[in-house]
Chain A
Amino acid sequence: MAGLLLSPTEKNFILQGVQDDFRSDGRSNIDYRPMELETDVVSHASGSARLRLANTDILVGVKTEIDTPNPDKPGLGKLEFFVDCSANATPEFEGRGGEQLANSISNMMQRAYHSSQAFDLKQLCIFEGKQCWKLYIDILILECGGNLCDAVSLAVKAALFNTRIPFVKAALMDGGNIDLQLSDDPYDSKLLNVGSAPLLVTLCKIGDKCVVDPSAEEESCSVISLVVGTTGNSKFYCSQEEAKKLPNVESKCSTIGMNGAGSVAPKTLKDAIQQGLEAAKSLDKALGQALLRERQENISFKKHSYGFLK
């Protein structure tokens, strides 16, 4: 990440804090900083969310478009991720500076959502082999305060939870072409089933321990960080009665990525994945609760958008 300069003694202090399981702001190695979430912040997007984790600020917008499915996957829709690093975040992002980071994050997200157990692309199908929905997920990084991957994945899941896809009213077959008529009413729309959408957990290896949710200072102390993508649990995203009907699913690891120059021993890797799964579970639960609470608040329509003001 961004080149933050630290003195050797400061690094030593952080390292020993991690060893002691007591970080410089009092968190233990598996604690997250408090986050703030708001969905439906961009009025002209199908779904949007803004997540703030300490100083990291992420805005996600989802745009829907009709597309033809890939010939080899006729029944599936499409997802496309695009990450934009705003130069407001750090001066290094100016020009093409943030491109590499943006590409690595969007590739990571693409890989994490690739699995059919992570996100069911069938729900984006309109006519098998002919037409499907394509979701453009635009991620804007407004401020960097460490732990970008986790924040991005949480914000994307929240935005997808908020996404409304219009119902198809009628379809006209004209030879090979299909003419769709979409419903004009914004509330005549379906919500996506995103319960199992993956979350990314970054585990930063500092010394020989791994920490979740590293601050920017901690990130610059570690030589390698592991990103573990795990599938979510739909139970956290529906009411309790519905949750009882759902089968029990264990979250699975859908992708692993590594950032940095260092290396990890096989045992550390295994432990880290386990730790990532644990962390993702509590993240998933907290996100589900927050999203359901927000939906409860604005049952019919959104009263107030807080956004960036207040």
Chain B
Amino acid sequence: MTGHVSIRLASERVNHCVATMNEPPRFYTPGEVITGMQDFMRGHGTYTEDDCLKASVAGVMEKVNKLICIRPLKSRYVGEIGDVVVGRVLEVQQRRWKVETNSRLDSVLQLSSVNLPGGELRRRSAEDEQMMRKHLQEGDLISAEVQSVFSDGSLSLHTRSLKYGKLTQGTLVKVYPSLIKRRKNHFHNLPCGVAIIIGNNGYIWISPQNHEGVMEEQKDDDTVDQQSVSRSDRETMARVKNCIAALVASKMMLDDTSIMFAYEESLKYDSVKDLLDPETMLDISFLTQHRINNIMEE
């Protein structure tokens, strides 16, 4: 019973690029001159210096008529109203929670914009302000929707729907927000028996599918906390997690389709820990990219 150890050399490093286009898009680095011409408009991620338009972030150019923007590859999450986010409660404050959502500033969740467990209506009293920590405490993970954006860019969240609220057992995967594809629905029950929440802020929550539904969970929080996850569920979750990591390493857009494709492609590797190998990761993202291209052509 010896553990598995693999040490590879830098010269054997795998190039994770799976771009199928003949030419990958031009990549601008901060300070690089985009254009010397005057008749363009300065968009996000750019600045003017010495009569030139320069990039202020590392990313690709987006041009709409005369407006030039640089979209960064890695950035903090910039929220928009209606986005689904996954966040972690950092602090319990007066009538609100501070939530970390991978944005530049911490988001807030007002006490007035949560549904109490069991659908009970809230009375505005001093009592329920004191009960706040019972509902959500420091370190808890929540799923929420962006209600509004303050003038400084920080977000105000709400959980006024049964699908939002505290998250129980599962794992969190952090990816770049720019890799998340915007979709109508960000809550998915994958056919492989795993539920995922793809937060727009780049936080992806993987949990075992809840057969009894959310209502049950809210009734009896403590029993759900203690429930153990079966081995097969655990294996599927680990596989999904490693598949997401593989897609992220190749900078592929994440949505339920791409994750599911990657999951299906990964099934040819029996052991889940094999998916940690860079070669395997590349193989999976390559096959996934191939399948996505096939769909696009049809």
CB distance from B228 to the nearest CB of A (A): 5
Flag whether B294 is at the interface (Cβ < 8 A): no
Q: Give A157 Cβ to nearest chain B Cβ, in Å.
A: 11
Bound: A50/B272 CA distance, A: 28
B139-A6 in contact (CB<8A): yes
Closest chain A residue to B9 by CB distance? A294
Answer whether residue A28 sits at the interface, using C-beta atoms and an 8 A cutoff: yes
* Chain B residues positioned under 8 Å from A187 (CB to CB): none
Asked whether A26 is an interface residue with its Cβ less than 8 Å from the other chain, the reply is yes
- Segment at the interface with A among B44-52, B194-202, B238-246: B238-246
How far in angstroms is the closest Cβ of chain B from A143? 14
Within the complex, the shortest CB–CB distance from B236 to chain A, in Å, comes to 10
Given contacts A10-B170, A12-B225, A20-B234, contact A30 B3 (CB under 8 A): yes
Main secondary structure of the interface of A (DSSP, over half): mixed
| Contact residues in B for A281 (Cβ distance below 8 Å) | 2
For A182, list chain B residues within 8 Å (CB): none
Does residue A128 face the partner (Cβ distance < 8 Å to B)?
A: no
Interface size class of chain A, counting residues whose CB lies under 8 Å from the partner chain:
35 or more
| Binding-face segment, A93-101, A249-257, A285-293 | A285-293
The segment from B60-68, B155-163, B274-282 found at the interface with A is B274-282
Given contacts A13-B170, A38-B10, A297-B11, contact A278 B3 (CB under 8 A): yes
B238/A22 in contact, CB under 8 A: yes
Q: Is the CB of B167 within 8 A of A9?
A: yes
Whole-angstrom distance between the Cβ of B200 and the nearest chain A Cβ: 21
Q: Once the chains bind, are B11 and A37 in contact (CB under 8 Å)?
A: no
Q: Is the C-beta of B284 less than 8 angstroms from some C-beta in chain A?
A: no
Is B228 within 8 A of A16, CB to CB?
A: yes
Identify B7's interface contact among A26, A27, A289, CB under 8 A: A289
| Cβ-based interface call for A43 (8 A) | no
A279 touching B276 in the complex, CB below 8 Å, given contacts A5-B90, A24-B241: no
CB contacts under 8 Å to A, within B256-279, are 271-273, 275-278
Q: A5-B139, A6-B139, A34-B277 are in contact. Are A22 and B235 (CB under 8 A)?
A: yes
Q: Are A8 and B9 in contact (CB under 8 A)?
A: no
Q: Are A9 and B277 in contact (CB under 8 A)?
A: no
A8 to B4, CA, bound (A): 30
Q: Which of B10, B138, B273, B275 has the most CB of A within 10 A?
A: B10
In the complex, whether A310 has a CB less than 8 A from a CB of chain B is yes
* CA gap between A43 and B67 in the complex, in Å: 45
Question: Does B254 have its Cβ within 8 Å of any Cβ on chain A?
Answer: no
A9 touches B168 (CB 8 A): yes
Assess the A5–B138 pair: CB atoms within 8 A.
yes
Set of chain A residues within 8 Å of B13, measured between Cβ atoms = 36, 306, 310
Cβ-defined contact, B271 with A26, below 8 A: yes
Measured between alpha carbons, how far is A67 from B80 in the docked complex, in Å? 63
> Contact at B2–A9, with CB atoms within 8 Å?
no
A284 vs chain B, min Cβ distance (A): 9
The reply on B20 being an interface residue by CB < 8 A is no
- Scoring A16, A36, A287 by chain B CB atoms within 10 A of each residue's CB, the highest score goes to A36
B2 / chain A contacts, CB cutoff of 8 Å:
30, 278-279, 281-282
Chain B CB within 8 A of A185 CB: no
A144 to B187, CA, bound (A): 31
Cβ-defined partner of A13 (8 Å) among B169, B271, B272 = B169
The smallest C-beta distance from B18 to any residue of chain A, in angstroms, reads 17
Given A34-B6, A38-B10, A278-B1: A26 in contact with B139 (beta carbons within 8 A): no
Q: Given the complex of chains A and B, what is the CA–CA distance between A27 and B13 in angstroms?
A: 22
Q: Is the CB of B231 within 8 A of A37?
A: no
Is A7 touching B3 in the complex (CB atoms < 8 A)? no
Q: Does B229 have its Cβ within 8 Å of any Cβ on chain A? A: yes
Spell out B's residues near A (CB within 8 Å): 1-11, 13, 88, 90, 138-141, 167-172, 225-226, 228-229, 231, 234-235, 237-239, 241-242, 245, 271-273, 275-278
Closest 6 A-B residue pairs measured CB to CB? A26-B272, A30-B3, A38-B10, A306-B10, A26-B238, A290-B7
25 A-B residue contacts at CB 8 Å?
A7-B88, A7-B167, A8-B139, A8-B225, A10-B141, A24-B241, A25-B238, A26-B239, A28-B273, A30-B1, A30-B2, A30-B4, A31-B4, A31-B5, A31-B273, A32-B3, A32-B6, A34-B6, A34-B277, A36-B10, A37-B9, A154-B7, A281-B2, A282-B4, A306-B11
